[in-house]
Amino acid sequence: MAEFTMELNDEQKEVRDWLHGFAADVIRPAAAEWDEREETPWPVIQEAAKVGIYSLDFYAQQFFDPTGLGIPMAMEELFWGDAGIALSIVGTGLAAVGVLANGTEEQIGTWIPQMYGDQNDVKVAAFCSSEPDAGSDVASMRTRAVYDEAKDEWVINGTKTWATNGGIANVHVVVAVVDPELGSKGHASFIVPPGTPGLTQGQKFKKHGIRASHTAEVVLDGVRVPGSCLLGGKEKLDERLARAREKAKTGGERVKNAAMATFEASRPAVGAMAVGTARAAYEVALEYATTREQFGRPIIDNQGVAFQLADMRTQIDAARLLVWRASWMAVNSRPFTAAEGSMSKLFASETAKKVTAQAIQILGGNGYTREYPVERMHRDSAIYTIFEGTSEIQRLVIARTLAGMPIR
């Protein structure tokens, strides 16, 4: 077990500086354009692929960092560059992780390379879980997958929403209900290969922020996939469903808490994204405050501005520490006895909204225009309190954990 530390080692610093350089030189100069276009920034993704950032190997190296700091460090630097473009770069990772977590070695080797493509022909993948009536309430999912034993095929019907890369992806990973009586325990994940009939893009959302990231509905109408596209295989699914049916009778609440631990472990990464956006806005505000003069002196000489900057920096550092603690706990299999994963996501996301708003205030009228990036950063920051569980859901998880109550 790696000791918890707030000091990056030499290798981590090298990776951080490399990512920061890419964010500064490639992502930031393109940010305003792709925000206005509201389109997937394919040229930037291709550049990320050429240097090795857009690849499974890179994210695997960070994920298996024994200190737990690899992923949050990478997320912070990329999202410091721009949240919309960064999400376009890391969005495929959601689907890849779904396959890594549940797939067989053959499925991993077959499908993950197709998710990324190569530097000359980059691809993206989509993870499709949320539905119009099932966001935080995953037990209400309606998309159904029914096994056709005669053809060894699964038939999937339903509509997914808020899918990053939905409809434009080369490979879709779809979560569907296979046993409605088991609630969230009756779900399974399926690969939908490229060009599969019946899968279409529904509404593409025109969003308040993260506009460079493609978000859309995915409609599945009689989609048929081979039995080999069930992640983990049918034998493993049948065994898991049988265990779930038994535990539902005797220890269902314990199963729910164990499942929640998995969600807890993923939330610090979103917190790190929020830290990156908050830090970017703070740095713009700090530079502006030290160079903008009013009444013959820099505006940072005014306590009203200086104290805001002091609070902003304090909140950012506190958020990062919560994210790093939770990330270290997750990689070292430490139990989240106080919902530390949700704590990190809650505090970091709320900090991003607050800090970006303060940055606009410090820049005054300039901050409200698109000539300065803090306006875009403020719009982008709103998403952190919504996806991967709203702030209200995080508070509910924390409160119920502290009270020793089951999390539903």
Residues serving a catalytic function are 388
Structure tokens at 312: 């902003």
Amino acid at 291: T
Judge whether 210 and 84 are in contact, CB under 8 Å. Answer: yes
**Cβ 113 vs Cβ 60: under 8 Å:** no
Closest of 363, 314, 372, 321 to residue 344, by C-alpha? 321
Residue 209: φ, ψ to 5°: -140, -170
Give which of 122, 63, 61 is closest to 89, Cα–Cα.
122
**Contact in structure between 123 and 133 (CB atoms under 8 Å):** no
Q: How far apart are CA 208 and CA 229, in angstroms?
A: 35
Angstrom CA distances, 160 to 120, 128, 163, 228, stand at: 30, 6, 7, 22
H or E, element range at 154: strand 153-164
Is the CA virtual torsion 131, 267, 62, 272 positive or negative?
positive
Alpha helices in 23-130 (DSSP H): 28-37, 42-51, 56-63, 70-81, 83-90, 92-102, 105-116
- Please tell me whether residue 8 adopts helix, strand or coil conformation: coil
359 touches 367 (CB < 8 A): yes
Distance CA 234, CA 246 (A): 18
Strand, helix or coil for residue 217: strand
What's the angle, vertex CA 196, arms to CA 190 and CA 202, rounded to 5? 85
Question: For the chain, what is the radius of gyration of the CA atoms?
Answer: 22
